[in-house]
Structure 1
């Protein structure tokens, strides 16, 4: 892009066929610590710049300004007010014009000063319309002084009009440009008296993207310029996501939660939510297992700005274990009144934990001695998430062992004078694994207490414990006749 000035009036500085001296009053510096470099651009040919000490390399330089870059027509050295016209005060001097601070890289203007040139009051160095910010004059001859009274740099007023690139202001989708985004220079009136008309106006909002701008500039002397350029506003602000931690509970019967959406809010200074891409690890929809999962999401707007959001997804197991506790039946061990149980057929399942990870506590303890009776058992099962379930069942130990009677045969004699004997007690011993003797019922035929006549009598007894187990005992009662009369006397046989 280019701004082009047209000149309608002569400026205060010297004017050369449409070109203007732009050096006066600009910043200068030199290799000498004692020479006054600014004397060469003070507009007075009677004050001169001079380095007369011996140096291997002498130089003088001027900065025409950081923007714009001028198109240089020629550089003129004025060397008046000399007492000795033949002195070689600028011999071997070289003039350069360009934009590099490494002055040796800038193009040379004209020829190096020769012996014949040193006697001239004015030396002209054509620069072939070189764009330049810096002008340098260098001399490699250490024995000759470097002297000139004025440096004039002639340039037309054409310079580059560069496109403008700016970034969005915080939180909005535009940049506000001040009217001074274009640095204008006028050699007569100064910048404050330049009238600028731009479409669109430069002191407004420029939204993200490219905007073509066209400007017309006029000074009070009628000089003008046109400028067409682009204003590009770049979005450099990343999206702003809000990612809160998420908590869910497991679905019934399984160890996970299924998620198809997350409460993530993302805003951007330019793009709507649906235009912001997002990529999360793991994926935000699907199965999340019981426990905590760290989720990392990256959000990117259409300008390539990205933001990272990290949050924790927690799935809590709230489902208690499911125990299956059937009632248990056992029989007493031989000769004792209990059963010994070391394992129970309890099955417990859980939606998350394996069986071996579920704690259990039972009252009474599930392994040990259970007596012949019914015992109520209560068990509490707890998974690793603290969910518990209660299971109640009955352990029944049945007595299936009959009593053990000892029935010896009985021999006796008739009572004196009678043919019989009256027996009230028999030597029968009965034991049982559960019940005491007095708790065992007995039924004998004939009855065990009463009159037994001379001769032999078969006695059959049935013994039954409280569990209904019975045992039969058969024995013989023998009464010997001694020809006695019947008597009511009782004989106790032990």
Structure 2
């Protein structure tokens, strides 16, 4: 059986490939572009031909013709190439809807459209390709593709943030306090575990006064939430007087009934390490009357804690015993 190619007899009949046979000849015929397969003269699948044609000296009638459709469907509507949405509140996904794709075909039939995702599906964070394929009755296909982008802009939430104010006294003999707290815990709508960083770690040493501990939880999309703790270290330890003047005996100034008290300032230390304020009453270089006078010295640190020291000065009248 032979295959013959010719275009000399029926150019007026259209624009697709026509196949047919008689008892002795198999043949293919190419019609001109003016008449598609769906014309009244030649139709897809056992079409009719108004007038039999002569092909290589053989008469071919309407029952011997078959038109092959090799034209792909066309999409009249394909959703936007990129659809963007934020995640649904508290969820790692977003439900996304779009208008269904619509396709037409040269055969006048309705192509079958299948998609790997349906409108109204839930999409996870990131980008996903939606592929829809239209197929006509002859198996010709055309693809419509668009992308779905889901963005997470929801900040993490702290399930546990330590107390907003933690107070401690200084450790004995120290200007600081070691402070511990339970580690912050954060969750995220994405289902991932946020990264938490703090400017201080539990168990850190804090000096006297207030300090701020800032912890920040960051999710995989870069959204962040802050948890802040205030630390207050209080110094309640008084200074320690290491040297206090000894009790003294003095005589009056000639011709006077008083004496000038002169003594060394007490020495002291404090856990804070800061300079201390020392005041004595009556102060050194002041006049003290005849008799016994108690001198009280107060050593104070910057937190207002006081250390004290007492001694006596006995003033006698000059010449009373000598």
Q: Quick check: TM above 0.5?
A: yes
Which has the greater radius of gyration?
1
Q: Please name the residue that 2:148 is paired with.
A: 313
Are the counterparts in 2 of residues 426 and 448 from structure 1 also a CA contact under 8 Å?
no
Q: For residue 413 of structure 1, report the CA deviation from its aligned partner.
A: 2.0
Q: Separation in 2 of the partners of 1:347 and 1:432?
A: 39
Are the counterparts in 2 of residues 173 and 270 from structure 1 also a CA contact under 8 Å?
no
Q: Separation in 2 of the partners of 1:480 and 1:434?
A: 38
Q: Separation in 2 of the partners of 1:388 and 1:485?
A: 86
Q: Please name the residue that 2:91 is paired with.
A: 254
Q: Does 1:239 align with 2:73?
A: yes
Unaligned 5+ segments in structure 1 are: 1-65, 70-98, 100-132, 134-161, 178-199, 218-224, 487-494
Q: Separation in 1 of the partners of 2:38 and 2:99?
A: 37
Q: 1:290 aligns with which of 107, 125, 142?
A: 125
Q: Does 1:405 align with 2:241?
A: yes
| 1:45-60 matches, cutoff 5 A | none
Q: 1:67 to 1:346 in 2, by over 3 A?
A: closer
Q: Separation in 1 of the partners of 2:266 and 2:134?
A: 98
Normalised to the residue count of structure 2, the TM-score between the two structures is: 0.60
Q: 1:166 to 1:466 in 2, by over 3 A?
A: farther
Q: 1:465 aligns with which of 301, 314, 317?
A: 301
| 1:69-468 matches, cutoff 5 A | 69=23, 174-175=36-37, 202=41, 206=43, 229=63, 237-240=71-74, 244-261=81-98, 264=101, 266-270=103-107, 275-301=110-136, 305-307=140-142, 312-321=147-156, 327-331=164-168, 332-340=170-178, 346-352=184-190, 354-355=192-193, 357-358=194-195, 360=197, 362=199, 368-375=204-211, 382-388=218-224, 394-406=230-242, 408=244, 410-415=246-251, 422-425=260-263, 428-434=266-272, 436-438=274-276, 440=277, 442=279, 447-449=282-284, 450=286, 451=288, 453-455=290-292, 462-468=298-304
Normalised to the residue count of structure 1, the TM-score between the two structures is: 0.43
Moved more, 338-347 or 258-267: 338-347
Q: Separation in 2 of the partners of 1:460 and 1:392?
A: 46
Q: Separation in 1 of the partners of 2:246 and 2:31?
A: 124
Unaligned 5+ segments in structure 2 are: 1-19, 54-58
Q: Separation in 2 of the partners of 1:291 and 1:248?
A: 10
Are the counterparts in 2 of residues 400 and 469 from structure 1 also a CA contact under 8 Å?
yes
What are the Cα deviations for residues 379-420 of structure 1, in whole angstroms up to 9, with x where unaligned?
Answer: 665433334556776544333333223464732223167887
Q: Separation in 2 of the partners of 1:391 and 1:167?
A: 77
What are the Cα deviations for residues 60-119 of structure 1, in whole angstroms up to 9, with x where unaligned?
Answer: xxxxxx9754xxxxxxxxxxxxxxxxxxxxxxxxxxxxx6xxxxxxxxxxxxxxxxxxxx
Q: For residue 259 of structure 1, report the CA deviation from its aligned partner.
A: 0.8
